[in-house]
Structure 1
Amino acid sequence: MPSFLPALVKWIEKQMAHHSRFEDSPFIPESAFPWSRELEDNWRDIRAELDTLLEHRDALPNFQDISTVQRQITNDNQWKTFFFYGYGYRFDPNCERCPRTAELLAHIPGLKTAFFSILGPRKHVPPHRGPYKGVVRYHLGLKIPSPEDSCGIRVGGQEAHWREGAGMFFDDTYEHEAWNGTDEDRAVLFLDVVRPMAFPYSLLNDMVIKGIARSRFVQDAKGNQDAWEQRFAQLLPRK
């Protein structure tokens, strides 16, 4: 990451509460992102493609296998991923395997990261903070075991529970944790989108995001994703 970025990131984050286009809070109203309605209206199409992938669940990469920094919060085989985008980089083979999901993702303004996030049985992700306030996180519930209140997320001290076909937006720079208290997988579509901000802070935000995308930890993750894809292609050819 360029040397000027850490100080710039710190300064921009201080401006978020004043210059974002919505109130600074752990959870964010869906009305701030009207595009989410299309995803939720078509969640069953996304779920169908997820179900096909889950036939090869064990071959899916662990989160820390792609993004090694995640080893701070997970080190087992119970957080599986399937990436479509990572900090703006599109992973074409995975998009081709899930064409309907890819089509819906292509309509989302400011999309930076998108993947299926699968928490295995009894998996707990401990409290942690996201790296940068310039993006907003979205979860679309796809596979939520019963009872729904056995799976949840706590953000900034506020607890919420996923529902199939329903989404939630939150600010991951608040301390947050997630858990699956059941004996089945819990799966969501996990997105990061650019935080809407007033000019000129929006321009500075874009600069920081581009800088992060060029950083070593993102480039290493991209390389790990590409290497995994080569292995997965032998198991599950593209459509």
Structure 2
Amino acid sequence: MFGLYDSSVRLMRRVFDSRIDDAPVLDATRHFPDAARFVANWQAIRAEALDVAANLRNIPRFHDIMREQADISANDARDWRMYIMKAYGVAFQRNLKRCPTLASIVEQSPDVLSASFSFLAPGKHIPPHHGPFRGILRGYLVLSMPLDANGNPAATLTVDGHAYGLHEGEFMLWDDTFEHEVLNASDQVRIVLLLDVRRRRMPFDMRILSNAVISIVRLGIRLRGEKIAV
């Protein structure tokens, strides 16, 4: 089963790579203008994430939700937990109701297919990997960032060989089909909001293929939805 998943991912990547030639990190103003809404409300969203974090042990680890991701989620003894409120268009109302500010902004942003709080345990390393296909972009809003002794972000996101250390309230839009990894080199939990954003600037045939892929993934999520809702 995992072999079929990996083969499908590689095939999709080759098809999209042949038709799309964008940079690893993109200008959110151009590619996702709604990012401004999330940034403007980051402190309220942060408060909601911290409320969720009060019961952190009850939030599933990523590989509990997707066994196919065990190699990057269960690679060490440290947790990567995901509080999923929307996944490829499937809304998890019980989770969304706990986060009314975020739920309202997501509802106003039709290009947001997924929205999750990502809780990265102290010392956790998500090893280098690639996302499945280029029909979506990844939004990354920092909500709670540990700092090192020099006041710099202690958790870094490395995309295509470039390390990014973002402060709280900062947003980054990037293509997760490029190799990327994350390291929380601190003794505190790092919290970010992860968004999957529909890529609009694609050739027509790639938009059709992307919509088909999203529909298939959405069906799979509905079948395993009970693992996601907390």
Q: TM-score range by the shorter chain?
A: 0.7 to 0.9
Structure 2 matches for 1:29-48, cutoff 5 A? Answer: 29-32=27-30, 33-48=32-47
Partners of 1:201 and 1:65 in 2: CA distance: 31
Q: Alpha carbons of 1:219 and 1:109: their partners in 2 closer, same or farther (altered >3 Å)?
A: closer
DSSP-derived class of the 1:140 partner: strand
Q: Alpha carbons of 1:149 and 1:108: their partners in 2 closer, same or farther (altered >3 Å)?
A: same
Structure 2 matches for 1:172-183, cutoff 5 A? Answer: 172-183=176-187
Conservation of the 8 A alpha-carbon contact between 1:136 and 1:171:
yes
State the partner residue of 2:51. 52
Please give the per-residue CA displacement for 1:119-146, whole angstroms capped at 9, x wherever unaligned.
0101110001111111100100000011
Displacement of 1:158 in angstroms is: 1.3
Partners of 2:53 and 2:215 in 1: CA distance: 33
Partners of 2:121 and 2:39 in 1: CA distance: 23
Instruction: Indicate yes or no: 2:68 matched with 1:65.
Output: no
Instruction: Indicate yes or no: 2:186 matched with 1:186.
Output: no
Gaps in structure 1 of 5+ consecutive residues: 18-23, 230-239
Taking structure 1 as the reference length, the TM-score comes to 0.84
Please give the per-residue CA displacement for 1:23-59, whole angstroms capped at 9, x wherever unaligned.
x111111222111011001001101111111111111
Conservation of the 8 A alpha-carbon contact between 2:90 and 2:222:
no
Conservation of the 8 A alpha-carbon contact between 1:12 and 1:205:
no
Q: 1:225 aligns with which of 214, 225, 228?
A: 228
DSSP-derived class of the 1:73 partner: helix
Q: 2:163 aligns with which of 159, 167, 174?
A: 159
State the partner residue of 1:97. 98
Please tell me the residue identity of whatever aligns with 1:78.
Answer: D
Q: Alpha carbons of 1:44 and 1:133: their partners in 2 closer, same or farther (altered >3 Å)?
A: same
Q: Alpha carbons of 1:163 and 1:8: their partners in 2 closer, same or farther (altered >3 Å)?
A: closer
Please give the per-residue CA displacement for 1:141-196, whole angstroms capped at 9, x wherever unaligned.
00001133321011111111121111001111111100110100100000111111
Q: Alpha carbons of 1:10 and 1:220: their partners in 2 closer, same or farther (altered >3 Å)?
A: farther
Partners of 2:58 and 2:16 in 1: CA distance: 39
DSSP-derived class of the 2:123 partner: coil
Conservation of the 8 A alpha-carbon contact between 2:114 and 2:195:
yes
Conservation of the 8 A alpha-carbon contact between 1:141 and 1:166:
yes
Partners of 1:91 and 1:220 in 2: CA distance: 13
- Percent of counterpart pairs with the same letter? 31
State the partner residue of 2:208. 203
Partners of 2:78 and 2:93 in 1: CA distance: 25
Conservation of the 8 A alpha-carbon contact between 2:153 and 2:167:
no
4+ aligned runs moved over 4 Å, structure 1:
5-9
Partners of 2:68 and 2:102 in 1: CA distance: 27
Conservation of the 8 A alpha-carbon contact between 1:150 and 1:180:
yes
Q: Alpha carbons of 1:207 and 1:132: their partners in 2 closer, same or farther (altered >3 Å)?
A: same
DSSP-derived class of the 2:108 partner: coil
RMSD of aligned Cα (Å) = 1.9
